């Protein structure tokens, strides 16, 4: 199965209303992929734009979002570092972050010069990470397929909040899928609905997802049939 086929399987099985989007850390755009001239207001704004097609965004295009720069591991010059300090200080001043959290915001260790963004269906090869926007039901099914909710899993599911880009950094550093509730900044810049959560899937898990998703959907269909029959029996017995 290739990325396009998996994207279609995920969209159909989970009934997604937004296509899975992906990113890969690279040093330059492939020859047939345009470079974005857009300087985004935030790093996460690129995630939504990635639904429209493949593009390359250099590190500098992310500089309006110093927290995103930190999370994505891009080098920062003095002006961006100063902006980052201002952002963090402002978050602490309004009690959005605590003093003890400011040094714990996760970041990716990378020396790449930019990111290739786009729909999973258009990626020429397996991406580094894939983002899926999900509601609660879809999140449960996807987390089951990823093995994140098994009681005997070595790393049970964890849910992250602010900043939403931190979930990507955790997925990278721990090489496992992560679920984020989505921060207020992410909802502002992506315009994503309040009912949506986001799941980041590293490429290593993406390659093995197809069969697991198929098995999960089959099991849930069988359990749904069982629960409906059970409900009917109990209701008729009353």
Does the pLDDT value for residue 153 go beyond 80? no
- Tokens 């898990």, residue? 205
The reported pLDDT for the residue numbered 30 is 86
The answer to whether the Cα torsion of 33, 210, 177, 21 is positive or negative is positive
Per-residue pLDDT band at 155 (split at 50, 70, 90): low
Per-residue pLDDT band at 1 (split at 50, 70, 90): confident
Q: Report pLDDT digits (tens) over 55-95.
A: 999 999 999 998 888 888 898 889 988 988 888 888 888 88
- Tokens 């849930």, residue? 220
For residues 80 and 16, the model is more confident at 16
The reported pLDDT for the residue numbered 196 is 95
The residues that bridge with 56 in the sheet, in sequence order, are: 35, 116
Does the pLDDT value for residue 130 go beyond 90? yes
The reported pLDDT for the residue numbered 156 is 62
What's the pTM value of the predicted model, to 2 decimals?
A: 0.89
Comparing 83-87, 99-103, 136-140, 152-156, the range with the smallest average pLDDT is: 152-156
The C-alpha atoms of residue 148 and residue 92 are separated, in whole angstroms, by: 32
Per the CB < 8 A criterion, the answer to whether 12 and 221 are in contact is no
Per-residue pLDDT band at 154 (split at 50, 70, 90): low
Assigned token pair, 45: 């704004």
Backbone dihedral angles phi then psi of residue 112, each to the nearest 5 degrees:
-70, 160
The C-alpha atoms of residue 133 and residue 227 are separated, in whole angstroms, by: 27
Per-residue pLDDT band at 238 (split at 50, 70, 90): low
Per-residue pLDDT band at 31 (split at 50, 70, 90): confident
The reported pLDDT for the residue numbered 109 is 82
The reported pLDDT for the residue numbered 92 is 87
The C-alpha atoms of residue 49 and residue 61 are separated, in whole angstroms, by: 13
The reported pLDDT for the residue numbered 106 is 81
Strands 159-160, 55-58: pairing kind: unpaired
Q: Report pLDDT digits (tens) over 167-180.
A: 999 998 888 999 99
């Amino acid at each position: 199965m290739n990325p396009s086929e998996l994207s279609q399987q995920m969209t159909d099985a989970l009934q997604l209303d937004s296509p899975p989007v992906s990113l890969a850390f690279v040093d330059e755009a492939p020859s047939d992929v345009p470079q974005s001239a857009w300087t985004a207001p935030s790093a996460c704004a690129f995630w939504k734009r990635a639904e429209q097609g493949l593009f390359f965004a250099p590190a500098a295009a992310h500089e309006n979002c110093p927290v995103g720069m930190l999370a994505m591991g891009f080098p920062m010059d003095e002006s961006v570092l100063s902006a980052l300090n201002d952002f963090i200080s402002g978050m602490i001043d309004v009690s959005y972050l605590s003093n003890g959290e400011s040094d714990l915001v996760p970041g990716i260790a990378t020396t790449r010069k930019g990111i290739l963004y786009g729909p999973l269906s258009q990626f020429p090869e397996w991406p580094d990470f894939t983002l899926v926007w999900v509601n609660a039901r879809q999140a449960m099914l996807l987390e089951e397929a990823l093995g994140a909710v098994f009681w005997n899993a070595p790393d049970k599911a964890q849910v992250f909040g602010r900043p939403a880009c931190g979930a990507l950094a955790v997925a990278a550093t721990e090489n496992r899928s992560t679920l984020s509730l989505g921060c207020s900044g992410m909802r502002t810049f992506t315009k994503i609905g309040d009912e949506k959560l986001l799941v980041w899937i590293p490429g290593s898990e993406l390659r093995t997802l197809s069969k697991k998703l198929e098995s999960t959907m089959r099991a849930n269909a069988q359990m749904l049939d069982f629960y409906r029959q059970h409900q009917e029996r109990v209701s008729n017995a009353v």
